[in-house]
Chain A
Amino acid sequence: DGGITQSPKYLFRKEGQNVTLSCEQNLNHDAMYWYRQDPGQGLRLIYYSQIVNDFQKGDIAEGYSVSREKKESFPLTVTSAQKNPTAFYLCASSLFTNTEAFFGQGTRLTVV
């Protein structure tokens, strides 16, 4: 089945450790996005990529890093520089800019 897959669904890490969240899509989409949602809040854009080997910072990129070496993959690393990493992270993809974006099921990251 075609879709976008985030793994794992739940992730626990100790404070000060880097952690990488996986996002894979087999929809042949060019564009991919990472968002963060905090309780009672909207979706805030972390990073986005319009095409393979290219990505741009979103509104809250500090403390995060990404790569887009393959069209189908857009992993997000939450570094120790991120002050409040505990959140629900959502990955999305779209065929290209200004088309519908489809979301994965999310990864809930808890840092203790």
Chain B
Amino acid sequence: DQQVKQNSPSLSVQEGRISILNCDYTNSMFDYFLWYKKYPAEGPTFLISISSIKDKNEDGRFTVFLNKSAKHLSLHIVPSQPGDSAVYFCAASARNTGKLIFGQGTTLQVKP
């Protein structure tokens, strides 16, 4: 049972445009959400997080939006840069269990 889903395996955007990566979850107990960036054969790098008490969090070019009623979150990267090309994972955790569950990942390619 995949509790955190990233339904788009890949995304390609032009440099300077907006990248929007999506993530859905099924467990209503999740109350903290994170986005990570990963290169092959390396550990993921934390990008940005959001608590369930908020609906938006911004950090530089990265903004995460949370829609609790739809159990959906998204990561916006603007403007996109070629160095942003990587695999992006969303993750969710629940304070009462301590689990941290990841989605399958979306490969982002930013073309110059």
6 CB < 8 A contacts A-B: A41-B104, A94-B100, A97-B98, A98-B31, A105-B42, A108-B41
Cβ of B25 under 8 Å from chain A: no
Q: Would you give the 0/1 interface string for A8-48, flagging 1 where the beta carbon is closer than 8 Å to chain B?
A: 00000000000000000000000101010000011111001
| Contact call B42/A106, Cβ cutoff below 8 A | yes
* Inter-chain contact total with CB atoms closer than 8 Å: 62
| Contact call A43/B32, Cβ cutoff below 8 A | no
Known A41-B104, A43-B89, A106-B41; judge A101-B95 contact (CB<8 A). Answer: no
Instruction: Tell me which residues across on chain B come within 8 A of A50, comparing CB atoms.
Output: 98
Residues 48-79 of A at the B interface (beta carbon under 8 Å): 48, 50, 56, 58-59
For A43, give its contact among B44, B51, B95 (CB under 8 Å): B44
| Interface size classification for chain A | 20 to 34
Cβ of A90 under 8 Å from chain B: yes
For A97, give its contact among B89, B95, B102, B105 (CB under 8 Å): B95
Q: In whole angstroms, how far apart are the Cα atoms of A100 and B35 in the complex?
A: 10
Ranked 7 nearest A-B pairs via Cβ: A103-B43, A42-B104, A98-B32, A43-B102, A50-B98, A97-B98, A100-B46
Considering residues A31, A42, A45, A101, which has the most beta carbons from chain B within 10 angstroms of its beta carbon?
A42
Instruction: Tell me which residues across on chain A come within 8 A of B6, comparing CB atoms.
Output: 42
